[in-house]
């Protein structure tokens, strides 16, 4: 146990034996007085892959943004690797930037810098994290190779396909050696071929034991790689459990209706 340095004078202990990389308890968040998260409990254990599914507007992106410390919750707790970050909605950790490096995020629309090449996009975050320039370049080159883009290092985002850009975004997220990667619908703006390329990289990461949280409408992929599925609707976790239960034998009518609506889209 070590003590983290809180901002407001309260001492909160970090539990380094906690198997959870991310732990979220009774999390609440409103925008302009409208509740978007209404008491979410979720645990992401080291080495696990958690898929989050649910209707549009249900709060999935907001939940990921809270887990990545990009959004400040109104209430509830968030711990990263046993270190309390928010307690009762109050920030109890003094260095969000350092913690955020442990939680990589891949966005639906890639969010690459358009004026930087692929390799520079992978280097730049490392520069902010004070990784030495040579090391940052070596990591970037190795990661671009790992996502099948060794030959595209000097390309700019607008010279790359959507699938290539998303794989650069994955390399960028991996460059800071995060303990967990959050994916927010990483393939929903991609065509089937690009989707396959991105899912292949994600499948490899899963096989290597990367801890991942995956917001996705790719139900068959979620069934294949995830070991836990969470159905979120209207700011609450309606049900969670192994994919074989939640996806194949949902206990709740709301989950059933959502899954049926996806089938009708196909």
Contact status: 67 vs ligand ATP (CB under 6 A)? no
Among 9, 56, 115, 265, binds ligand ATP (CB under 6 A): 56
Give the nearest distance from C-beta 105 to ligand ATP in angstroms.
13
- Is the Cα dihedral 11, 16, 21, 25 positive or negative? negative
Nearer to ligand ATP, 144 or 230 (CB): 230
CB-count burial class (<10 Å; 0-12, 13-18, 19+) for 97? exposed
x/- letters, 53..72, toward Mg ion (CB under 5 A): -------xx-----------
Structure token pair of residue 225: 């790689």
CA 151 to CA 164: how far, in whole Å?
A: 11
Among 27, 59, 105, 117, binds ligand ATP (CB under 6 A): 59
Helices (H) and strands (E) in the chain, counts: 9, 13
Decide: 77 and 23 in contact? Cβ < 8 Å: yes
Among 20, 24, 36, 174, binds ligand ATP (CB under 6 A): 36
Nearer to ligand ATP, 83 or 185 (CB): 185
Structure token pair of residue 3: 């003590």
Contact status: 79 vs Mg ion (CB under 5 A)? no
Element (H, E) at 254: helix 253-265
Among 51, 62, 79, 216, binds ligand ATP (CB under 6 A): 62
Nearer to Mg ion, 184 or 197 (CB): 184
Residues 158-217 that bind Mg ion (CB under 5 A): none
Contact status: 51 vs ligand ATP (CB under 6 A)? no
Nearer to ligand ATP, 65 or 139 (CB): 65
Structure token pair of residue 177: 């050696």
Contact status: 105 vs ligand ATP (CB under 6 A)? no
Residue 107 dihedral angles phi and psi, to the nearest 5°: -100, 160
Give the strand pairing for 2-4 and 12-14.
Answer: antiparallel
Nearer to Mg ion, 61 or 195 (CB): 61
Dihedral angle computed from the Cα positions of residues 117, 122, 126 and 131, in that order, rounded to the nearest 10 degrees: -90
**Which residues form the interface with ligand ATP (CB under 6 A)?**
31-32, 36, 54, 56-62
């Amino acid at each position: 146990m070590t003590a983290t340095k809180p901002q407001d004078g309260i001492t909160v202990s970090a539990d380094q034996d906690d198997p959870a990389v991310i732990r979220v308890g009774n999390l609440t968040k409103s925008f302009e007085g409208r509740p978007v998260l209404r008491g979410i409990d979720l645990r992401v254990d080291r080495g696990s892959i958690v898929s989050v599914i649910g209707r549009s507007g249900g709060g999935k992106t907001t939940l990921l943004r809270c887990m990545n410390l990009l959004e400040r919750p109104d209430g509830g707790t968030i711990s990263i690797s046993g270190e309390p970050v928010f307690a009762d909605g109050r920030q109890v950790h003094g260095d969000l930037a350092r913690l955020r490096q442990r939680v990589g995020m891949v966005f639906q629309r890639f969010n690459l810098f358009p004026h930087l090449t692929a390799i520079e996009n992978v280097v730049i975050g490392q520069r902010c994290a004070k990784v030495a320039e040579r090391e940052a370049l070596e990591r970037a080159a190795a990661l671009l190779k790992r996502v099948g883009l060794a030959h595209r290092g000097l390309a700019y985002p607008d010279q790359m396909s959507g699938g290539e850009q998303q794989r650069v975004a994955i390399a960028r997220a991996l460059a800071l050696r995060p303990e967990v990667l959050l994916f927010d619908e990483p393939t929903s703006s991609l065509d089937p071929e690009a989707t396959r390329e991105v899912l292949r990289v994600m499948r490899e990461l899963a096989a290597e034991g990367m801890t991942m949280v995956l917001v996705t409408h790719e139900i068959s992929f979620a069934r294949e790689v995830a070991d836990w599925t969470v159905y979120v609707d209207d700011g609450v976790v309606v049900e969670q459990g192994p994919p074989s239960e939640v996806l194949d034998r949902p206990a709740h009518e709301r989950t059933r209706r959502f899954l049926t609506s996806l089938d009708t889209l196909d």
